[in-house]
Structure formats: C-alpha cells, structure tokens
Chain A
C-alpha cells in the first residue's frame, strides 16, 4: 500500500495568519491522465470528515477560497491563507491512485487556534 506521511502532526495558528500542511506519499500519485489523485479532508470535532480538495488542487463545492492545494507526484501542500476559528479540526490527506483500489490516509494534522 502507498504510505501517506503528513507534517506537522499539530499546529497552533493565530487567527488571520496563514497555515501550511505537508503530505508526502511513498509512490507517485500522478495518474497517466495528468491528475494527481490526492485528496484533502477536514474533520471538525465530533463530525465526519468533509471534503476540501480533490485531484490535488480542485476545491470542492462550498469550500472557501482561503483553502488551496498544490503539489505533484509525491509532495503536496494544503495552505490556508488566513486561518479562521471555524478551521479547527484534524486535516487528512488521502491517495486514490492505486489500482485496484487501496485508498490510504495520512495520520492527520491537528490545527488549533492560538
């Protein structure tokens, strides 16, 4: 299986400041169709995960534009341009490139507000 490694595992951010989370995969997530099969989720306290970014850099419907995804191959980054209080929770990356499917998640990065 592809191993997903996130860093840092936790971060504390002042509201209005930016935040960045890294996700690295043990194999390339770049599909032959040119898309990176890398997904970002946010799991708010007591809730199910919610989709933020798919195909590495496409924001899901309703996701604020302060969230952006970038990267290719094995190195990816989720950036929050200006953190708000509602952004607290655990952020996960996930790969969906493997065929047959063996989707795997990162360990999660917990974001807190200072």
Chain B
C-alpha cells in the first residue's frame, strides 16, 4: 500500500523559502511509469498544480509557469522522498500543499496536506 507522508514548517515570513518533503512508502521515487507531484489549494486559487519530478532513464522536472522562476522539486533516492522548494514567498503562497503520485495521468495517491501560512 503506497503512502505519502509530508513534513515541513507551516509558518513563513515573506521573502523566505518554503521547503516541504514527501516521504514515500510502498513505492520508489525512481519507479517506472510514475511521477511525483506537488499541488496546492487555497480559497482564492482553488487547486493549483505546481510541478513534478520523474525518472525515465534520467531525471526530469516539469513546473507550472506561474511558479517556474521560484520552484525546485528534487528527488532523493537515498531517502526515497522528494521535496519542494518555493523561494521568495508572499502571502499569496498561503495554501494547503499536497504531494501526490501520478500514474496513468491521474493523481491516485495523495499526502494529507500541509497548511503553509506566509505572514509577517
């Protein structure tokens, strides 16, 4: 049974870097035919896909245009996890952040979500 366990701070000040980690159990971060995604949800923006990482002979990343200049998603094969870094945060980045496994072009497994608040 695949499970995703999220961790990371829930309160940031403007201009800081958001860092979240998603630990994977029951699957491999470098597994075939899967991708590892970050999505966020806020009342103002709804559900918003942020980006993903996946392995297909080498590592690839795809990022949403809205955050492309500020986002980095990094796999860690030694810990079987992947992480999200979002730099220069503002109050508009306040949201619940989810990690999710993508398979067959759908997010079949989700983490429980991390509420991140950006406030001075």
Contact A39 B65 (CB under 8 A): no
Contact A37 B105 (CB under 8 A): yes
Q: In whole angstroms, what is the CA distance A80 to B45 when docked?
A: 27
For A, the interface residue count at a CB cutoff of 8 angstroms equals: 24
Q: In whole angstroms, what is the CA distance A101 to B104 when docked?
A: 14
Question: A40's closest neighbor in chain B, by CB?
Answer: B106
Out of A49, A50, A51, name the residue touching B47 (CB < 8 Å).
A49
Out of A41, A101, A107, name the residue touching B52 (CB < 8 Å).
A101
A contact face: mostly helix, strand, loop, or mixed: loop
Contact A96 B105 (CB under 8 A): yes
Q: In whole angstroms, what is the CA distance A94 to B52 when docked?
A: 16
B contact face: mostly helix, strand, loop, or mixed: strand
B78-118 to A contact mask, C-beta < 8 Å, 1/0: 00000000000000000000100000111110111100000
Q: Does A108 contact B (CB under 8 A)?
A: yes
Q: Does A45 contact B (CB under 8 A)?
A: no
Q: Does A55 contact B (CB under 8 A)?
A: yes
A45-62 to B contact mask, C-beta < 8 Å, 1/0: 000111100110010100
If A101-B62, A102-B65 touch, whether A49 touches B110 (CB-CB below 8 Å) is yes
Which of A's residues lie within 8 Å of B, judged by CB? Answer: 1, 35, 37, 39, 41, 48-51, 54-55, 58, 60, 92, 94, 96, 100-105, 107-108
Task: List 3 A-B pairs, minimum CB-CB distance, nearest first.
Answer: A54-B106, A48-B110, A103-B49
